Amino acid sequence: CAHSEHLPFPARTFDRVLMVDAFHHVGDQAGTARELWRVLEPGGRIVILEPDIRHLAVKLIALFEKATLMRSRFLPSPEIAALFSYAGGKVEIEREGYNVWIVIEKERHNT
């Protein structure tokens, strides 16, 4: 078990990294983004599935999680994507119902 901000893997270990309904539970989202990028090999993809905070139902879930002291931090998908912009990754955002897929591709020449 490890914190997402300090993964116990060498750099460029994985060709795919998947986070499902979890990013809003991470305390240091920027640190996690950097760490996911670090363990991703060139040409790989990070796929993040998150509830879409633009929907009222998701806003109610966020309010409930705050009321129960879960410390969740729901970000709009462009803000999640922006956490990876420093690295020059190609980002695609696709909405599906109450969820949003954020796919970040690491170019083969990036480190």
If you compute the radius of gyration of the chain from its CA atoms, what whole number of angstroms results?
14
Enclosing domain of residue 41: 14-105
The reply to whether 5 falls in a domain is no
State the pLDDT at residue 67.
95
C-alpha distances out from residue 9 to 4, 42, 85, 106, Å = 11, 15, 23, 17
The reply to whether 7 falls in a domain is no
**Would you place residue 1 in the very low, low, confident or very high pLDDT band (cuts 50, 70, 90)?**
low
Task: Look up the pTM and report it.
Answer: 0.91
Query: Which contiguous run of DSSP H or E holds residue 35?
Result: helix 29-39
Angstrom distance (rounded) from CA 42 to CA 46: 11
Q: Is the pLDDT of residue 111 over 70?
A: no
The reply to whether 1 falls in a domain is no
Q: How many domains does the chain have?
A: 1
Q: To which residue do tokens 């309904």 refer?
A: 21
Angstrom distance (rounded) from CA 92 to CA 83: 13
Q: Is the pLDDT of residue 2 over 90?
A: no
Condensed to tens digits (0 to 9), the pLDDT of residues 100-109 reads 999 999 988 7
Average pLDDT over residues 69-97: 92
The reply to whether 8 falls in a domain is no
Q: Is the pLDDT of residue 75 over 60?
A: yes
Condensed to tens digits (0 to 9), the pLDDT of residues 3-61 reads 899 999 999 999 999 999 999 999 999 999 999 999 999 999 999 999 999 999 999 99
**Which CATH number belongs to the domain containing residue 18 in this structure?**
3.40.50.150
